[in-house]
Structure 1
Protein backbone atom coordinates (compact mmCIF):
# COMPACT_ATOMS: atom_id res chain seq x y z
CA UNK A 1 0.00 0.00 0.00
CA UNK A 2 1.39 3.36 -1.03
CA UNK A 3 1.15 6.09 1.56
CA UNK A 4 1.07 9.82 1.02
CA UNK A 5 4.54 10.06 2.52
CA UNK A 6 5.81 7.61 -0.11
CA UNK A 7 4.45 9.67 -3.02
CA UNK A 8 5.24 13.14 -1.70
CA UNK A 9 8.06 14.85 -3.63
CA UNK A 10 11.35 15.26 -1.79
CA UNK A 11 11.87 18.73 -0.41
CA UNK A 12 14.69 20.60 -2.09
CA UNK A 13 17.26 22.29 0.07
CA UNK A 14 17.50 25.85 -1.24
CA UNK A 15 20.90 26.78 -2.65
CA UNK A 16 22.52 29.92 -1.24
CA UNK A 17 22.04 32.97 -3.43
CA UNK A 18 25.07 34.26 -5.34
CA UNK A 19 25.14 37.46 -3.29
CA UNK A 20 25.05 35.45 -0.06
CA UNK A 21 28.00 33.37 -1.23
CA UNK A 22 29.90 36.53 -2.18
CA UNK A 23 29.24 38.04 1.24
CA UNK A 24 30.51 34.91 2.95
CA UNK A 25 33.66 34.93 0.83
CA UNK A 26 34.24 38.62 1.59
CA UNK A 27 33.86 37.94 5.31
CA UNK A 28 36.37 35.08 5.25
CA UNK A 29 38.84 37.15 3.22
CA UNK A 30 38.56 40.11 5.57
CA UNK A 31 38.83 37.90 8.64
CA UNK A 32 41.89 36.13 7.24
CA UNK A 33 43.64 39.46 6.66
CA UNK A 34 42.74 40.79 10.11
CA UNK A 35 43.51 37.59 12.00
CA UNK A 36 46.94 37.46 10.37
CA UNK A 37 47.57 41.11 11.20
CA UNK A 38 46.02 41.44 14.64
CA UNK A 39 45.20 37.93 15.90
CA UNK A 40 41.95 35.95 16.06
CA UNK A 41 40.41 38.09 18.84
CA UNK A 42 39.87 41.08 16.57
CA UNK A 43 36.36 42.58 17.17
CA UNK A 44 33.59 41.21 15.01
CA UNK A 45 32.41 44.67 13.97
CA UNK A 46 35.88 45.44 12.61
CA UNK A 47 35.74 42.29 10.48
CA UNK A 48 32.29 43.29 9.20
CA UNK A 49 33.51 46.80 8.41
CA UNK A 50 36.49 45.55 6.40
CA UNK A 51 34.30 43.01 4.59
CA UNK A 52 31.78 45.72 3.71
CA UNK A 53 28.83 43.88 5.27
CA UNK A 54 26.56 44.51 8.23
CA UNK A 55 27.05 42.87 11.60
CA UNK A 56 23.83 40.93 11.07
CA UNK A 57 25.24 39.37 7.90
CA UNK A 58 28.43 38.41 9.71
CA UNK A 59 26.56 36.79 12.60
CA UNK A 60 24.17 35.03 10.24
CA UNK A 61 27.10 33.33 8.52
CA UNK A 62 29.26 32.79 11.60
CA UNK A 63 27.19 32.92 14.81
CA UNK A 64 30.18 32.02 17.01
CA UNK A 65 33.80 33.15 16.76
CA UNK A 66 35.12 29.55 16.52
CA UNK A 67 32.98 29.12 13.40
CA UNK A 68 34.74 32.02 11.71
CA UNK A 69 38.19 31.02 12.95
CA UNK A 70 37.70 27.49 11.61
CA UNK A 71 36.66 28.84 8.20
CA UNK A 72 39.72 31.08 8.08
CA UNK A 73 42.03 28.20 9.01
CA UNK A 74 40.43 26.06 6.30
CA UNK A 75 40.85 28.90 3.81
CA UNK A 76 44.55 29.32 4.56
CA UNK A 77 45.25 25.60 4.38
CA UNK A 78 43.33 25.25 1.11
CA UNK A 79 45.20 28.15 -0.48
CA UNK A 80 48.57 26.74 0.57
CA UNK A 81 47.61 23.29 -0.73
CA UNK A 82 46.66 24.77 -4.10
CA UNK A 83 50.03 26.55 -4.26
CA UNK A 84 51.84 23.25 -3.60
CA UNK A 85 49.81 21.46 -6.27
CA UNK A 86 50.55 24.13 -8.89
CA UNK A 87 54.25 24.11 -8.04
CA UNK A 88 54.42 20.33 -8.45
CA UNK A 89 52.59 20.46 -11.79
CA UNK A 90 54.42 23.41 -13.34
CA UNK A 91 58.05 23.02 -12.20
CA UNK A 92 60.30 20.40 -13.79
CA UNK A 93 63.06 20.96 -11.22
CA UNK A 94 61.87 19.27 -8.01
CA UNK A 95 63.79 21.66 -5.77
CA UNK A 96 62.46 24.66 -7.70
CA UNK A 97 58.95 23.33 -6.99
CA UNK A 98 59.76 23.09 -3.28
CA UNK A 99 61.27 26.59 -3.27
CA UNK A 100 58.26 28.04 -5.07
CA UNK A 101 55.84 26.42 -2.65
CA UNK A 102 57.76 27.61 0.40
CA UNK A 103 57.91 31.25 -0.70
CA UNK A 104 54.21 31.15 -1.58
CA UNK A 105 53.33 29.61 1.80
CA UNK A 106 55.10 32.54 3.44
CA UNK A 107 52.97 34.92 1.38
CA UNK A 108 49.88 33.21 2.83
CA UNK A 109 51.23 33.81 6.36
CA UNK A 110 50.73 30.18 7.30
CA UNK A 111 52.48 30.85 10.61
CA UNK A 112 49.40 32.80 11.68
CA UNK A 113 47.59 29.49 12.04
CA UNK A 114 49.32 28.80 15.35
CA UNK A 115 47.65 31.59 17.38
CA UNK A 116 44.31 30.66 15.80
CA UNK A 117 44.62 27.07 17.03
CA UNK A 118 45.09 28.04 20.68
CA UNK A 119 42.54 27.78 23.47
CA UNK A 120 39.27 25.89 23.09
CA UNK A 121 39.49 25.69 19.30
CA UNK A 122 38.33 22.29 18.01
CA UNK A 123 41.42 20.99 16.23
CA UNK A 124 39.71 17.66 15.53
CA UNK A 125 36.83 19.01 13.48
CA UNK A 126 36.34 16.66 10.48
CA UNK A 127 36.71 19.48 7.94
CA UNK A 128 40.01 20.53 9.49
CA UNK A 129 41.36 16.99 9.58
CA UNK A 130 40.45 16.45 5.92
CA UNK A 131 42.07 19.71 4.78
CA UNK A 132 45.14 19.13 6.95
CA UNK A 133 45.59 15.63 5.52
CA UNK A 134 45.27 17.00 1.99
CA UNK A 135 47.91 19.66 2.66
CA UNK A 136 50.30 17.23 4.33
CA UNK A 137 49.99 14.72 1.50
CA UNK A 138 50.84 17.32 -1.15
CA UNK A 139 53.79 18.81 0.76
CA UNK A 140 55.14 15.37 1.64
CA UNK A 141 55.04 14.53 -2.07
CA UNK A 142 57.03 17.69 -2.90
CA UNK A 143 59.68 16.80 -0.32
CA UNK A 144 59.80 13.15 -1.38
CA UNK A 145 60.23 14.00 -5.06
CA UNK A 146 63.09 16.40 -4.33
CA UNK A 147 64.84 13.85 -2.15
CA UNK A 148 64.46 11.03 -4.67
CA UNK A 149 65.88 13.32 -7.36
CA UNK A 150 68.92 14.02 -5.19
CA UNK A 151 68.04 17.71 -4.95
CA UNK A 152 67.07 17.81 -1.27
CA UNK A 153 69.24 16.53 1.58
CA UNK A 154 67.96 13.33 3.13
CA UNK A 155 68.35 14.30 6.78
CA UNK A 156 65.44 16.78 6.79
CA UNK A 157 61.69 16.22 6.93
CA UNK A 158 58.51 18.08 6.12
CA UNK A 159 58.37 19.23 9.73
CA UNK A 160 61.73 21.01 9.37
CA UNK A 161 60.34 22.94 6.42
CA UNK A 162 57.08 23.86 8.14
CA UNK A 163 58.84 25.00 11.32
CA UNK A 164 60.91 27.45 9.29
CA UNK A 165 57.88 28.76 7.40
CA UNK A 166 55.95 29.16 10.64
CA UNK A 167 58.75 30.98 12.42
CA UNK A 168 59.50 33.32 9.55
CA UNK A 169 55.89 34.42 9.18
CA UNK A 170 55.55 35.45 12.82
CA UNK A 171 57.35 38.81 13.22
CA UNK A 172 59.01 39.59 16.52
CA UNK A 173 57.42 42.37 18.61
CA UNK A 174 58.75 45.79 17.74
CA UNK A 175 60.25 44.75 14.40
CA UNK A 176 59.46 45.91 10.89
CA UNK A 177 56.18 45.00 9.25
CA UNK A 178 54.44 45.32 5.92
CA UNK A 179 56.43 45.36 2.67
CA UNK A 180 59.76 45.75 4.48
CA UNK A 181 59.00 42.74 6.64
CA UNK A 182 58.16 40.72 3.52
CA UNK A 183 61.60 41.50 2.11
CA UNK A 184 63.28 40.24 5.26
CA UNK A 185 61.14 37.10 5.31
CA UNK A 186 61.90 36.09 1.74
CA UNK A 187 65.59 36.91 2.15
CA UNK A 188 65.98 34.72 5.23
CA UNK A 189 63.77 32.02 3.78
CA UNK A 190 66.08 31.81 0.76
CA UNK A 191 69.07 31.43 3.09
CA UNK A 192 67.25 28.56 4.80
CA UNK A 193 66.37 26.90 1.50
CA UNK A 194 69.99 27.10 0.34
CA UNK A 195 70.87 25.00 3.37
CA UNK A 196 68.37 22.30 2.34
CA UNK A 197 69.87 21.59 -1.05
CA UNK A 198 71.90 18.43 -1.60
CA UNK A 199 74.70 17.66 -1.20
CA UNK A 200 74.60 18.56 2.49
CA UNK A 201 77.35 20.87 3.68
CA UNK A 202 77.22 19.78 7.31
CA UNK A 203 75.79 17.15 9.63
CA UNK A 204 72.61 18.21 11.38
CA UNK A 205 72.10 17.53 15.10
CA UNK A 206 69.11 15.40 16.05
CA UNK A 207 66.80 13.76 13.54
CA UNK A 208 64.49 14.96 10.78
CA UNK A 209 61.31 16.56 12.10
CA UNK A 210 58.13 14.84 10.96
CA UNK A 211 54.59 16.16 10.82
CA UNK A 212 53.73 13.80 13.67
CA UNK A 213 56.41 15.54 15.76
CA UNK A 214 54.82 18.89 15.06
CA UNK A 215 51.34 17.69 15.98
CA UNK A 216 52.61 16.19 19.20
CA UNK A 217 54.41 19.40 20.18
CA UNK A 218 51.67 21.69 18.81
CA UNK A 219 52.67 24.84 16.94
CA UNK A 220 56.34 25.76 17.16
CA UNK A 221 56.90 28.86 19.24
Structure 2
Protein backbone atom coordinates (compact mmCIF):
# COMPACT_ATOMS: atom_id res chain seq x y z
CA UNK A 1 0.00 0.00 0.00
CA UNK A 2 1.34 3.45 -0.94
CA UNK A 3 2.32 5.74 1.92
CA UNK A 4 -0.44 8.26 1.17
CA UNK A 5 -3.05 5.51 0.95
CA UNK A 6 -1.88 4.06 4.27
CA UNK A 7 -2.09 7.51 5.88
CA UNK A 8 -5.67 7.90 4.65
CA UNK A 9 -6.56 4.45 5.95
CA UNK A 10 -5.00 5.25 9.31
CA UNK A 11 -6.93 8.53 9.58
CA UNK A 12 -10.20 6.75 8.78
CA UNK A 13 -9.64 3.97 11.33
CA UNK A 14 -8.59 6.40 14.07
CA UNK A 15 -11.57 8.63 13.33
CA UNK A 16 -13.94 5.65 13.30
CA UNK A 17 -12.64 4.54 16.70
CA UNK A 18 -13.32 7.97 18.18
CA UNK A 19 -16.73 8.42 16.57
CA UNK A 20 -17.99 4.94 17.48
CA UNK A 21 -16.82 5.43 21.07
CA UNK A 22 -18.62 8.77 21.31
CA UNK A 23 -21.80 7.93 19.41
CA UNK A 24 -22.02 4.13 19.23
CA UNK A 25 -21.60 1.73 16.31
CA UNK A 26 -24.64 3.17 14.48
CA UNK A 27 -23.08 6.63 14.23
CA UNK A 28 -23.39 8.16 10.75
CA UNK A 29 -20.41 7.33 8.57
CA UNK A 30 -20.46 10.96 7.46
CA UNK A 31 -19.24 11.77 10.97
CA UNK A 32 -16.28 9.45 10.40
CA UNK A 33 -15.55 11.17 7.08
CA UNK A 34 -15.58 14.61 8.71
CA UNK A 35 -13.42 13.51 11.63
CA UNK A 36 -10.90 11.85 9.31
CA UNK A 37 -10.73 14.85 6.99
CA UNK A 38 -11.22 12.74 3.87
CA UNK A 39 -13.85 12.64 1.16
CA UNK A 40 -16.73 10.12 1.23
CA UNK A 41 -15.29 8.37 -1.81
CA UNK A 42 -12.03 7.76 0.02
CA UNK A 43 -13.86 5.98 2.84
CA UNK A 44 -16.14 3.90 0.63
CA UNK A 45 -13.35 2.80 -1.70
CA UNK A 46 -11.59 1.22 1.27
CA UNK A 47 -14.64 0.20 3.30
CA UNK A 48 -17.74 -0.35 1.14
CA UNK A 49 -20.12 -0.55 4.12
CA UNK A 50 -20.31 -0.22 7.90
CA UNK A 51 -19.68 -3.92 8.46
CA UNK A 52 -16.40 -3.75 6.52
CA UNK A 53 -15.29 -0.69 8.48
CA UNK A 54 -16.11 -2.24 11.86
CA UNK A 55 -14.35 -5.49 10.99
CA UNK A 56 -11.27 -3.64 9.74
CA UNK A 57 -11.20 -1.47 12.86
CA UNK A 58 -11.38 -4.42 15.27
CA UNK A 59 -8.79 -6.37 13.26
CA UNK A 60 -6.50 -3.34 13.31
CA UNK A 61 -6.94 -2.80 17.05
CA UNK A 62 -6.21 -6.44 17.82
CA UNK A 63 -3.12 -6.42 15.61
CA UNK A 64 -1.79 -3.29 17.31
CA UNK A 65 -2.57 -4.79 20.69
CA UNK A 66 -0.58 -7.92 19.85
CA UNK A 67 2.35 -5.84 18.71
CA UNK A 68 2.16 -3.80 21.93
CA UNK A 69 2.41 -7.03 23.93
CA UNK A 70 5.38 -8.27 21.91
CA UNK A 71 7.14 -4.91 22.15
CA UNK A 72 6.63 -4.81 25.93
CA UNK A 73 8.25 -8.25 26.19
CA UNK A 74 11.21 -7.11 24.07
CA UNK A 75 11.77 -3.78 25.80
CA UNK A 76 11.24 -4.63 29.47
CA UNK A 77 13.52 -7.15 31.17
CA UNK A 78 11.26 -7.24 34.25
CA UNK A 79 8.11 -9.30 33.47
CA UNK A 80 5.95 -7.15 35.74
CA UNK A 81 7.09 -3.94 34.06
CA UNK A 82 6.45 -5.59 30.69
CA UNK A 83 2.88 -6.36 31.74
CA UNK A 84 2.42 -2.81 33.04
CA UNK A 85 3.80 -1.33 29.84
CA UNK A 86 1.36 -3.41 27.80
CA UNK A 87 -1.68 -2.46 29.89
CA UNK A 88 -0.91 1.24 29.53
CA UNK A 89 -0.33 0.84 25.79
CA UNK A 90 -3.71 -0.92 25.51
CA UNK A 91 -5.35 2.05 27.23
CA UNK A 92 -3.71 4.47 24.79
CA UNK A 93 -5.11 2.41 21.91
CA UNK A 94 -8.55 2.62 23.58
CA UNK A 95 -8.86 -1.02 22.64
CA UNK A 96 -10.96 -2.18 25.56
CA UNK A 97 -13.62 0.47 25.23
CA UNK A 98 -13.76 0.37 21.44
CA UNK A 99 -14.07 -3.38 21.01
CA UNK A 100 -16.88 -3.60 23.57
CA UNK A 101 -18.78 -0.90 21.69
CA UNK A 102 -18.26 -2.66 18.36
CA UNK A 103 -18.94 -6.28 19.35
CA UNK A 104 -22.63 -6.10 18.52
CA UNK A 105 -21.82 -5.14 14.93
CA UNK A 106 -18.84 -7.45 14.47
CA UNK A 107 -18.81 -10.26 11.94
CA UNK A 108 -16.06 -12.78 12.72
CA UNK A 109 -14.06 -14.02 9.74
CA UNK A 110 -10.88 -16.07 9.29
CA UNK A 111 -8.61 -13.02 9.23
CA UNK A 112 -10.02 -11.74 12.49
CA UNK A 113 -9.67 -15.15 14.15
CA UNK A 114 -6.04 -15.41 13.03
CA UNK A 115 -5.18 -11.93 14.33
CA UNK A 116 -6.96 -12.64 17.60
CA UNK A 117 -5.05 -15.88 18.04
CA UNK A 118 -1.71 -14.07 17.66
CA UNK A 119 -2.76 -11.39 20.12
CA UNK A 120 -3.94 -13.91 22.69
CA UNK A 121 -0.64 -15.79 22.47
CA UNK A 122 1.38 -12.58 22.94
CA UNK A 123 -0.63 -11.44 25.98
CA UNK A 124 -0.67 -14.91 27.54
CA UNK A 125 3.13 -14.92 27.21
CA UNK A 126 3.28 -11.71 29.27
CA UNK A 127 0.99 -13.13 31.93
CA UNK A 128 2.90 -16.41 32.12
CA UNK A 129 6.25 -14.62 32.52
CA UNK A 130 4.88 -12.40 35.29
CA UNK A 131 3.44 -15.43 37.12
CA UNK A 132 6.66 -17.41 36.82
CA UNK A 133 8.60 -14.44 38.20
CA UNK A 134 6.31 -14.43 41.24
CA UNK A 135 5.02 -10.95 40.45
CA UNK A 136 1.44 -11.72 39.36
CA UNK A 137 -1.33 -13.35 41.35
CA UNK A 138 -1.84 -16.94 40.18
CA UNK A 139 -5.59 -16.45 39.78
CA UNK A 140 -5.37 -13.73 37.13
CA UNK A 141 -6.31 -14.87 33.63
CA UNK A 142 -6.32 -13.00 30.36
CA UNK A 143 -10.08 -12.58 30.64
CA UNK A 144 -9.57 -10.78 33.95
CA UNK A 145 -6.96 -8.50 32.40
CA UNK A 146 -9.10 -7.68 29.37
CA UNK A 147 -12.22 -6.87 31.39
CA UNK A 148 -10.18 -4.82 33.85
CA UNK A 149 -8.84 -2.75 30.95
CA UNK A 150 -12.37 -2.39 29.57
CA UNK A 151 -13.76 -1.17 32.89
CA UNK A 152 -10.97 1.31 33.55
CA UNK A 153 -10.47 2.68 30.04
CA UNK A 154 -14.07 3.38 29.04
CA UNK A 155 -14.70 7.13 28.68
CA UNK A 156 -16.21 8.85 31.70
CA UNK A 157 -19.84 9.88 31.13
CA UNK A 158 -21.04 13.42 30.59
CA UNK A 159 -19.31 16.24 32.43
CA UNK A 160 -17.08 13.76 34.29
CA UNK A 161 -15.07 13.37 31.06
CA UNK A 162 -13.45 16.74 31.86
CA UNK A 163 -11.65 15.08 34.78
CA UNK A 164 -9.60 13.07 32.31
CA UNK A 165 -9.27 15.56 29.49
CA UNK A 166 -5.56 14.82 29.03
CA UNK A 167 -5.89 11.04 29.47
CA UNK A 168 -3.73 10.91 32.59
CA UNK A 169 -6.48 9.82 35.00
CA UNK A 170 -7.07 6.52 33.21
CA UNK A 171 -3.37 5.70 33.58
CA UNK A 172 -3.45 6.49 37.30
CA UNK A 173 -6.45 4.22 37.74
CA UNK A 174 -4.74 1.48 35.76
CA UNK A 175 -1.77 1.62 38.12
CA UNK A 176 -4.12 1.42 41.10
CA UNK A 177 -5.82 -1.60 39.53
CA UNK A 178 -2.50 -3.25 38.67
CA UNK A 179 -1.48 -3.01 42.31
CA UNK A 180 -4.38 -5.35 43.05
CA UNK A 181 -3.04 -7.91 40.57
CA UNK A 182 0.38 -8.10 42.16
CA UNK A 183 1.29 -11.33 43.93
CA UNK A 184 0.88 -11.04 47.70
CA UNK A 185 0.23 -13.38 50.60
CA UNK A 186 -2.91 -11.49 51.60
CA UNK A 187 -6.47 -11.97 50.45
CA UNK A 188 -8.37 -14.96 49.09
CA UNK A 189 -7.65 -16.31 45.64
CA UNK A 190 -10.42 -16.73 43.10
CA UNK A 191 -10.81 -18.47 39.76
CA UNK A 192 -8.89 -17.07 36.81
CA UNK A 193 -11.17 -15.89 34.01
CA UNK A 194 -10.08 -17.09 30.58
CA UNK A 195 -10.24 -15.02 27.43
CA UNK A 196 -12.32 -17.72 25.71
CA UNK A 197 -15.01 -17.19 28.35
CA UNK A 198 -15.12 -13.47 27.57
CA UNK A 199 -15.41 -14.12 23.83
CA UNK A 200 -18.12 -16.76 24.36
CA UNK A 201 -20.09 -14.45 26.66
CA UNK A 202 -19.93 -11.71 24.03
CA UNK A 203 -21.58 -14.07 21.57
CA UNK A 204 -18.77 -13.75 19.00
CA UNK A 205 -16.62 -16.83 19.61
CA UNK A 206 -15.38 -17.64 16.11
CA UNK A 207 -13.39 -20.43 17.70
CA UNK A 208 -12.52 -21.58 21.20
CA UNK A 209 -9.18 -20.29 22.43
CA UNK A 210 -7.33 -22.69 24.68
CA UNK A 211 -5.85 -21.37 27.89
| TM-score, normalization by structure 1 | 0.83
Once the two structures are superposed, residues 33-65 of structure 1 have per-residue CA deviations (whole angstroms, 9 ceiling, x without a partner) of 322333222211221122222112211211110
**Tell me, which stretches of 5 or more residues in structure 1 are unaligned?**
1-15
Structure having the higher Rg: 1
Distance 1:56 1:161 in 2: 39
User: For 1:1-221, what aligned pairs fall within 5 Å after superposition?
Assistant: 18-111=3-96, 112-119=98-105, 121-122=106-107, 124-174=108-158, 176-177=160-161, 180=164, 182-204=167-189, 206-218=190-202
Conserved? CA contact 1:26–1:51, under 8 Å: yes
**What is the number of residues matched between the two proteins?**
201
Shift of 1:23: 2.5
**SS of corresponding position for 1:199:** coil
**Tell me, which stretches of 5 or more residues in structure 2 are unaligned?**
204-211
Aligned residue in 1 for 2:206: none
Shift of 1:17: 5.0
Q: Please tell me the root mean square deviation across aligned C-alpha atoms, in Å.
A: 2.0
Higher deviation after alignment, 53-62 or 37-46: 37-46
Hey, which of these two has a bigger chunk of helix by percent? 2
Distance 1:164 1:140 in 2: 15
Shift of 1:19: 3.6
Higher deviation after alignment, 148-157 or 195-204: 195-204
